Amino acid sequence: MVSRIALIVLLTGCSAEPTLGVLRVCLGEADPPRSEASPLRGFDVDVAQLLAQGLNRELQPVWLAARNPTEIESTDINYGALLMGRCDVQLSIPGVDALGVFAQHLVLTQPYYGAGFELVPAGASIDFAAPGTGRIAVRANTVAHVFIDHLGFQWTMRDDSVDIVSALTSGEADAGLVWGPDLGAVSVSRALAFEPPAALRWNHHAVTRTGNVALREAIDAVLARADVRDAVQASMRRHGIPPHRPFASVHQLDMLSGQ
């Protein structure tokens, strides 16, 4: 995560300010479908380019060697470069809870897309009010796993989204719950009629350092533009990510206990 030196730099107010004319965006070096350094592509790359264009700045990617998490429950998002001032903004942050111990040093922009656990395959039909309706493949130790277990469904725990698809192919499961952005990297179509319940969906934001108020307000203004909102949705479709606009209600930490 972040070294003590980074925190000392941050807390003493010595972190770098944005460079004029340049927008430095932290991106995962190998995190498809969000971002890839070579060739330069991905959904987060598209959003970074939209922000840079909207701010009339040149995009300067700052590559994070460690792969960004693709599961919402991951708590090891690497904010080190952002906190130390090596970049100005980071993308695809699933809400304030994902900031963890750095919540007082980092601030989210308005949400610009929603993502959740999607039902697969395309023809799957699961009634969450009727736990006996099928066997569900789900990644182990995720919110989706806790959710269906609490409801009383039959489930099979899998290692990742590819393994969930394998369970469907082998007949070990009738349906699966796959983290939406992962669908861009696996060969399975989602059930279009399925709307992820609030407990299984999150809104995603960009994040800046607390002191960069002018930058954050400028980013919010870009994200509020109708043409940018439409371009974000188009990019999601292009990269195989279910194109959800920000949800009206999303996962809260106490939701599962109340299901």
Q: How far is CA 170 from the centre of its chain?
A: 29
**Whole-prediction pTM value?**
0.87
The third-level CATH classification (topology) of the domain covering 4-114+199-258 is D-Maltodextrin-Binding Protein; domain 2 (3.40.190)
Flag whether pLDDT at 71 surpasses 70: no
Question: Could you tell me if 112 and 47 are in contact, meaning their C-beta atoms sit under 8 angstroms apart?
Answer: yes
The third-level CATH classification (topology) of the domain covering 117-196 is D-Maltodextrin-Binding Protein; domain 2 (3.40.190)
Mean pLDDT of the chain: 88
Sorting pLDDT into bands at 50, 70 and 90, what band is 184? confident
Flag whether pLDDT at 29 surpasses 50: yes
Q: Count the neighbouring beta carbons within 10 Å of the beta carbon of residue 8.
A: 10
Sorting pLDDT into bands at 50, 70 and 90, what band is 259? very low
pLDDT given for residue 65 in this prediction: 84
Distance CA 229, CA 190 (A): 23
Distance CA 8, CA 18 (A): 19
The residue whose two tokens read 């690497």 is 78
Parallel, antiparallel, or unpaired for β 89-93 and 22-28?
parallel
Flag whether pLDDT at 10 surpasses 50: no
Question: Could you tell me if 113 and 236 are in contact, meaning their C-beta atoms sit under 8 angstroms apart?
Answer: yes
Instruction: Read off the pLDDT of residues 231-251 as tens digits, 9 standing for 90 and up.
Output: 999 999 999 999 999 999 999
DSSP 96: G
Sorting pLDDT into bands at 50, 70 and 90, what band is 19? low
| Burial of 45 (C-beta count, 10 Å sphere; 0-12/13-18/19+) | buried
Q: What are the φ and ψ backbone dihedral angles of 150, each rounded to 5 degrees?
A: -65, -35
Where in the sequence of the chain do the CATH 3.40.190.10 domains occur? 4-114+199-258, 117-196
Cβ-proximal residues to 166 (8 Å cutoff; 6+ apart), any chain: 158
Parallel, antiparallel, or unpaired for β 201-209 and 89-93?
antiparallel
Q: Count the neighbouring beta carbons within 10 Å of the beta carbon of residue 101.
A: 10
Cβ-proximal residues to 62 (8 Å cutoff; 6+ apart), any chain: 24, 25, 26, 27, 81, 86, 87
pLDDT given for residue 11 in this prediction: 47
Instruction: Read off the pLDDT of residues 89-148 as tens digits, 9 standing for 90 and up.
Output: 999 999 999 999 999 999 999 999 999 999 999 999 888 787 777 799 999 889 999 999
Instruction: Read off the pLDDT of residues 32-68 as tens digits, 9 standing for 90 and up.
Output: 899 999 999 999 999 999 999 999 999 999 999 855 4
